[in-house]
Chains A and B, each alone.
Chain A
Amino acid sequence: MAEVRFNIYRLNPETGGDGRFQEYKVECEKGDTVLDCLNKIKGEQDGTVTYRMSCRSAICGSCAMRICGHTRLACSTQVSGLLEIYEEITLEPLQNFPVIKDLVVDMKAYWEKIEAIMPYMVPDAGEPVPEKERLQSPEQFDTVFEVATCIRCSACVSDCTSLEADDKFLAPAALAKSFRFAGDSRDAADKERLTELVKEGGIWDCVRCYECTQVCPKDVRPAEHIIQLREKALNNQMEKSVGARHVLGFMESVGHSGQLDEGKLPMFAVKNIGAKISMVPIGIKMFLKGKLPLKHKPIPGAEDVQRIYKKLEGE
C-alpha cells in the first residue's frame, strides 16, 4: 500500500483548551489495522500520542474511538476499507465523554449508568435455592445471547444521538445490559427494573435512530433490545409515561380508522396541562397553514382493519 495521512485529535490536560488535530503520515501495509498504524506512530514518530489498547483481537473493547466520524474498534478496522471511502483517516476520542488526554476518555459516567440498572441477577426469593446452578434451556438463553456478548467498548454510547442531546439518558449500553437481566428466564425483578426504566432518561427517551446497532462491533443490537424493554413495560401495564401513552394512543387511532390521527395523538399522549398548552401555538399555526385537518377520516374499508385489530390486540 502507500503513505496514508492520519489526523489525530490531541489534547494535553496540562494546557487544556479545545484540543487540536495533528497530522501524521504512515507507510501502511496491506492488512494493517488502525491500531497497527497508531502503534507505528507512537513507536516511530511521537511517543506522546495517547490511546487505550490491550487485546488486539476485538475482545477487550479498550480501543474504541471515532474513526472517520464513526465509532469503531481500532484493532478490528482495516485501513484499506476506510480508504475506499475516505482520503485520510481522522481519529477522535469517544464522543459523549469528557476527554482525559488525546484519544483517552473518562468512562466514569458510563459505569455509573451500568451500576444504576441493577447489573446482577435477582432470582425469585420465594423459590428454594437449587443445589447446583440455576439452569435455563438453550432457547431461553437465545433471548439474551446478543446482549450477553457486549464487550463494554462504549461504541454505542459514543454514537448515541439521544445522549448527545441529553446527558441524563441511560444510553444503549446500560439499557442493553438491563435487558440482559430483564430478559433472562432466571431473573425475577422485572417489575423493579422496569419501574426505573420508564422514568425520565430511560427507555422512552431513545429516538430509535439505530446508530448504536449500526456501530456495535459485536452485533449486540441495543436499539432492538430497548424496544423489547418497551414491550415488557407495556405488558406490565406501565402505561403512565408519555412514551407508553404515545404507543397506546397510536394503536387505538390506527386500529379504529386505519390511519393515524396526528392531531389527536399529542393531546392524548401528553397529560401535563402546561405541556399541552405549550403545544397550542404550533397547533394553531399548523391549522392556519392547512396542515392540520379538522376532521380525521377513516380509510375506505376500515372495518377490515378493525377486525384484524380486534383479533390480534383485543378490544
Chain B
Amino acid sequence: MRYAFFPGCVAKGTCPELYQSTYKVAEKLGMELVELTEATCCGAGVMQAKNTELTDAYTARTFALAEEKGLDTVVTICSTCQGYMDPANKTLKEDSEHLARINSHLSDGGHQYKGGVQVKHLMWVLSEGQELENLKGKVQKNLNGLKVAPFYGCQILRPTYALGYEDPEKPSSMERIIAALGGQAVDYRCKTRCCGFPIILENEKAALRMTGRSLLDAKENDAQCVVTPCPLCHLNLDIYQKKAEKEIGAKLNMPVLHLSQLVGLALGISAKELQLPKHFVSSSQVVSAVGA
C-alpha cells in the first residue's frame, strides 16, 4: 500500500530513532511511505490555545499536499499529531463553510483541500485487516512471550467524540499488534493515563510524578518493557525516567520502545538499525530476550 506520511516534528527532531525505525519497518512490510516534506507542525494542542483558524489552515494544507500526490490516507506516528489532526479533519469535512474559509487562506499558496483524506496512526494501520495479517506473516524473531506494557497515553484515545477509533476504557489495537509479534501484552491501570509531558516545562514535579507512577505500575505488573505510539510520551518516559525515579523514590529501569522499534525487532531488524542505543534507558535486556 501507498500512504502519505506525516512524521511530525518530534520524529524529525528529538526522536530521530522513531523516524528511521518507521522507514525500516515500512520497507520490510512493503508499505510505501510518501513523506509530506512540505507539511507543517500540527500545533500539538499548544497552538490551538491561541489560534485554531491557523492550526486548521496548517492541517488542511497538509491534507491538500497528500491529495496533490493522489493519496487518500495520511499516516502519522505521533499520538499528538493524530489527536489534533483527526478532529480538525472531521470538522473540515463536515462543515463546508468552514472548509471554504480555511481554503481561502491556502489559495495564495496554490493549495486547496477537497476533503478526501483520512488521517490514521500507524498503530491503527498495523492493527487491523490485511496489514495485520501481513505483519503476522513477516515476523522473523518471535517476541517469545516478552511481557510488553502498551502505553497509550491520552491523545490517541480521548475524547471519544473527537477520535472514536477505539474505546479509551478498553483499547486493543496495541494488544493486537503485540500478540501478532508473539509478545504478551501486560494489562495495567496506567496504560491510558497521561505521561506528564504537556506540563514538563510548566510543572516539572507533577509531570515527573505522572511519568514515575505509570512506569512503576508497568513494572509492578511484571512488564519487561513499555511500548508507546507517541514520541512525546517517549521523551518523558525515557529521557526523564531518572528524574522521575528520584521524584517518586523508586527504581524503575524500564526500557521504553517506540511502537515502530518493537515491530522492527520482531521483523528481524537489528537494534542498531532501529537506533535503540539513542535511548537514555538501555533496551539491551529486551534485545537479548528477543534474540535480535
Contact A286 B210 (CB under 8 A): no
Contact B58 A313 (CB under 8 A): no
**Which of A231, A243, A259 is the one whose CB lies under 8 Å from B9?**
A259
- Asked whether any CB of chain B lies closer than 8 Å to the CB of A292, the reply is yes
A263 to B16, CA, bound (A): 14
Contact A251 B51 (CB under 8 A): yes
How many of chain A's residues touch chain B, expressed as a range?
Answer: 35 or more
Contact B203 A69 (CB under 8 A): no
- Asked whether any CB of chain B lies closer than 8 Å to the CB of A262, the reply is yes
- Asked whether any CB of chain B lies closer than 8 Å to the CB of A290, the reply is yes
Query: Given A208-B45, A242-B202, A262 and B10 touching (CB < 8 A)?
Result: yes
A-contacting residues, B85-103, CB 8 Å: none
Expressed in whole angstroms, the minimum distance between the Cβ of B247 and any Cβ of chain A is: 10
Collect the chain A residues with CB atoms within 8 Å of residue B111's CB: 304
Query: Given A250-B44, A312-B105, A214 and B202 touching (CB < 8 A)?
Result: no
Expressed in whole angstroms, the minimum distance between the Cβ of A234 and any Cβ of chain B is: 5
Expressed in whole angstroms, the minimum distance between the Cβ of B45 and any Cβ of chain A is: 5
Contact A211 B158 (CB under 8 A): yes
A251 to B44, CA, bound (A): 11
A260 to B10, CA, bound (A): 8
Q: Which residue of A lies closest to B36 (CB)?
A: A299
A166 to B108, CA, bound (A): 47
- Asked whether any CB of chain B lies closer than 8 Å to the CB of A223, the reply is yes
Q: Which residue of B lies closest to A262 (CB)?
A: B13
Contact B47 A251 (CB under 8 A): yes
- Asked whether any CB of chain B lies closer than 8 Å to the CB of A210, the reply is yes
Collect the chain B residues with CB atoms within 8 Å of residue A289's CB: 277-280
With a 10 A CB-CB cut-off, give which of A230, A241, A246, A261 has the most chain B CB atoms: A246
Collect the chain B residues with CB atoms within 8 Å of residue A290's CB: 16, 278
Contact A207 B209 (CB under 8 A): no
Query: Using an 8 Å CB-CB cutoff, how does the interface string of B190-214 with A read, 1 for contact, 0 for none?
Result: 0001101111011111110110010
- Asked whether any CB of chain B lies closer than 8 Å to the CB of A204, the reply is yes
Contact B168 A162 (CB under 8 A): no
B-contacting residues, A249-290, CB 8 Å: 250-251, 254, 258-263, 266, 269-270, 275, 282, 285-286, 289-290
- Asked whether any CB of chain A lies closer than 8 Å to the CB of B37, the reply is yes
Collect the chain B residues with CB atoms within 8 Å of residue A259's CB: 9, 12-13, 40-41
- Asked whether any CB of chain B lies closer than 8 Å to the CB of A186, the reply is no
Contact B48 A227 (CB under 8 A): yes
Contact A307 B109 (CB under 8 A): yes
- Asked whether any CB of chain B lies closer than 8 Å to the CB of A141, the reply is no
Contact A269 B46 (CB under 8 A): no
Query: Using an 8 Å CB-CB cutoff, how does the interface string of B49-71 with A read, 1 for contact, 0 for none?
Result: 11101100110010000000000
Query: Given A205-B199, A308-B109, A299 and B168 touching (CB < 8 A)?
Result: no
- Asked whether any CB of chain B lies closer than 8 Å to the CB of A70, the reply is yes
A-contacting residues, B136-182, CB 8 Å: 154-155, 158-160, 167-170
How many of chain B's residues touch chain A, expressed as a range?
Answer: 35 or more
Collect the chain A residues with CB atoms within 8 Å of residue B43's CB: 250, 254
Contact B105 A311 (CB under 8 A): yes
B-contacting residues, A214-260, CB 8 Å: 214, 221, 223, 227, 230-231, 234, 241-243, 246-248, 250-251, 254, 258-260
**Chain A interface mostly:** helix
Collect the chain A residues with CB atoms within 8 Å of residue B39's CB: 258, 299
- Asked whether any CB of chain A lies closer than 8 Å to the CB of B221, the reply is no
Contact B51 A313 (CB under 8 A): yes
Query: Given A223-B159, A307-B108, A254 and B209 touching (CB < 8 A)?
Result: no
Contact A234 B49 (CB under 8 A): yes
- Asked whether any CB of chain A lies closer than 8 Å to the CB of B240, the reply is yes
Q: Which residue of A lies closest to B242 (CB)?
A: A282
Contact A308 B14 (CB under 8 A): no
A99 to B277, CA, bound (A): 46
Contact B239 A286 (CB under 8 A): yes
**Which of B38, B193, B239 is the one whose CB lies under 8 Å from A282?**
B239
Expressed in whole angstroms, the minimum distance between the Cβ of A172 and any Cβ of chain B is: 13
- Asked whether any CB of chain B lies closer than 8 Å to the CB of A83, the reply is no
A263 to B61, CA, bound (A): 25
Query: Given A165-B206, A291-B15, A250 and B46 touching (CB < 8 A)?
Result: yes
Contact B51 A312 (CB under 8 A): yes
Expressed in whole angstroms, the minimum distance between the Cβ of B147 and any Cβ of chain A is: 21
A250 to B109, CA, bound (A): 23
Collect the chain B residues with CB atoms within 8 Å of residue A221's CB: 159
Q: Which residue of B lies closest to A282 (CB)?
A: B239
- Asked whether any CB of chain B lies closer than 8 Å to the CB of A300, the reply is yes
Q: Residues of B with Cβ closer than 8 Å to A?
A: 9-10, 12-16, 37-41, 43-51, 53-54, 57-58, 61, 105-106, 108-109, 111, 154-155, 158-160, 167-170, 189, 193-194, 196-199, 201-207, 209-210, 213, 239-240, 243, 277-280
5 A-B pairs whose Cβ atoms sit less than 8 Å apart in the complex: A166-B209, A262-B10, A262-B14, A296-B13, A300-B38
